Every structure is written in C-alpha cells, then in structure tokens.
Structure 1
Amino acid sequence: MKMSQAVEQSLVVLVMLALQKDDLPVKSYLLSDRLEVSESYLKKTMRKLVVAGIVEAIASKEGGFKLARSIADITLLDVYEAIEGDGSFIHATQLADRIFLNQESNKPVEDVQEALDVAVDDVLSVFNDAEQDFKQRLQRYTIAKLLRHVSAADFEKIDWRQVN
C-alpha cells in the first residue's frame, strides 16, 4: 500500500490550524509556504478536506482555512479517506486466472481451478482483514490524541499569519 504525501501534509495543516491563535483563518499561501509546496497543489488538498467537512474555507479579505470541527472529532481515518478516498485499496486483477489458462482452450486448467479459487479467496480475505484493521486503527486516533502532549501551559498558540 502506498499513501500520498498529501495525507501527511494534511495532518500537518490540521495541527497548524488546531494551534492557530484565536482560531483565526489561515490563508493558503501561508500554509503552502510553511509546507514548501505549491499553493495550487495545497489548494487541491484543502478542497478535499473542505468537502469532507474537516476544514472550513472562509472567503473574505481576512479569510482562509480553519477547522470545521473539534480536533477530538477528526480522526486519522477522516483525513486518510478525504485524501485517498473511502474505497478499498485491495484490487484483484485475476492474474492467476490468466496465468493458469490452458493455452489451447483458453479455459482454466481443471486440476488447478478449485485450488486456485480457494487460494485467491484466502489471499483476498487476508488483505481485506488487514485493510479493516488499518482503518479501525486510524478511526481510533484523533488529532486531539496527536496533540495530547501539548498543553496550554507548555505551548502558547501560534498566529501563523505572523510567523516568518
């Protein structure tokens, strides 16, 4: 499984927005500068977070992006699915079926078809179980948990609009 950099970048943006002083919106160019990515690329990522209801886009002179809900209500699964989609990342190609065809009849070799079907089902079952475990773990981990060691006494909120 491969995950895009946009997932990590989204998590960093969410932490930045969570730590934003007075929950003021932060402009996309400030976020893209801090992440060292193009603003157009970041806007595409932010759009996915807005559509998922994780981030709110505020259109005004002082606008930008801010969290749409509490950090206790945003899970890593929310972020992953906003960026990568909520479909399965397991996709069978039926390669084994094509490899074990009788070349003359273009039909599966009878001796191996049943064993092949069982093996393919077993493999897909293992991968599907692993995917469910992965998503369940992401569902249990929130942005609040990510920031659990940051307390008001230890950390003063940042105004990203003023940071150079």
Structure 2
Amino acid sequence: MKMSHAVEQSLVVLVMLALQKDDLPVKSYLLSDRLEVSESYLKKTMRKLVVAGIVQAIASKEGGFRLARPISKITLLDVYQAIEGIGSFIHSTQLADRIFLSQQSNKRIEDVQQALEVATNDVLTVFNEAEQDFKNRLQNYTIAKLLGHINVDGFDKIDWRQVHFTVN
C-alpha cells in the first residue's frame, strides 16, 4: 500500500489549524509556505478536506481555512479517506489466472482453475482483513489524541497569520 504525501500534509495542516489562535482562518498561501508546497497543490488537498467536512473554507478578505468540527471528532480515517478515497485499496488483476490457466491443457484447466480460485480467495481475504484492521486503527485515533502529546492547555496558541518563516 502506498499513501500520498497529501495525507501527512493534511495532518500537519489540521494540527496547525487546531493550534491557531482564536480559531481565526489561515490563508492557503501561509499554509503552503510553511509546508513548502505549491499553493495550487495545497488548494487541491484543502478542497478534499472541505468536501469531507473536516475543514471549512471562509471566503472573505480575512478568510482562509479553519477546522469545521472539534478535533475530538476528526479521525485519521476521516483524513485518509478524504485524501485517498473511501474505496478499497485491494484490487486483483487476475494475473495468476492469465499466467497459469494459459499454460494448462484443456483436461487440467478445471483443476487448476479451482485451485487458483481457492488460493486467490484466501489471499484476498487476508488482504481485506488487513485493510479492515488498518482502517479500524485509523478510526480510533483522533487529532485530539495526536495533540494529546502536547500539553495544549499549557501551549500558547499560534497566530499563523503573524508568523514569518525563513526558508533555509
């Protein structure tokens, strides 16, 4: 399984927004500068988070992005599915059928086909169970838990709109 960089970037953006002083919206160019990604790329990612109801886009002079719901209600699964989609990442191309069935004589093809079907079902079951375990773990981990590693009450909120960054 391969996850896009946008998932990690989204998590960082959500933490930034969670730590934003007074819940003020943060403009995309400030987020993209801090993440060192193009603004157009970040806007595409942010759009996915907006559609998923994770962040809210505020269209005004002082607008930008802010969290759409409490951090205790945003799970890693929400973020993963917003970016990667809700479908399964398990897909069989039936490669084994094409390779092994083409090599058999007509009288053996039924035996081979049956054995391939059982083996393919076994493998797909293992992968599907692993995918479900993965998604269950993501479902049980919230942004609040992630931020639990920081003493948020003792942590001064940051106004990302006022922070000036230097690129090394």
| TM-score, normalised via structure 2 length | 0.93
Paired letter, 1:66:
R
Distance in 2, Cα, partners of 1:162 & 1:108: 73
Paired letter, 1:157:
K
Q: Which residue number corresponds to residue 162 of structure 1?
A: 162
CA offsets, 1:57-92, max 9 Å, x none? 000000000000000000000000000000000000
Contact 2:101 2:112 in 1 (8 A): no
Give the superposition deviation at 1:38: 0.1
Question: After the TM superposition, which residues 46-85 of structure 1 pair with which residues of structure 2 at under 5 Å, given as runs?
Answer: 46-85=46-85
Indicate the percent of aligned positions where both proteins have the same amino acid: 82
Aligned length: 164
- Secondary structure at 2:117's aligned position in 1? helix
- Secondary structure at 2:25's aligned position in 1? coil
Distance in 1, Cα, partners of 2:132 & 2:155: 36
Contact 1:101 1:107 in 2 (8 A): no
Distance in 1, Cα, partners of 2:159 & 2:43: 20
Distance 1:104 1:153, change over 3 A: closer
Give the superposition deviation at 1:149: 2.5
**Which aligned runs of 4 or more in structure 1 are off by greater than 3 angstroms?**
102-108
- Secondary structure at 2:137's aligned position in 1? helix
Distance 1:83 1:153, change over 3 A: closer
Give the superposition deviation at 1:113: 1.5
- Secondary structure at 1:56's aligned position in 2? strand
Specify every segment of 5 or more residues in structure 2 that has no aligned partner in the other structure, as ranges.
none
RMSD of aligned Cα (Å): 1.7
Q: Which residue number corresponds to residue 34 of structure 1?
A: 34
Paired letter, 1:149:
H
| TM-score, normalised via structure 1 length | 0.95
- Secondary structure at 1:158's aligned position in 2? coil
Paired letter, 1:52:
A
Residue 147 (str. 1) matches residue 147 (str. 2):
yes
Specify every segment of 5 or more residues in structure 1 that has no aligned partner in the other structure, as ranges.
none
Question: After the TM superposition, which residues 105-144 of structure 1 pair with which residues of structure 2 at under 5 Å, given as runs?
Answer: 109-144=109-144
Give the superposition deviation at 1:122: 0.1
The worse-fitting range, judged by mean Cα deviation, of 45-54 and 109-118 is 109-118
Contact 2:17 2:67 in 1 (8 A): yes
Distance in 2, Cα, partners of 1:99 & 1:108: 14
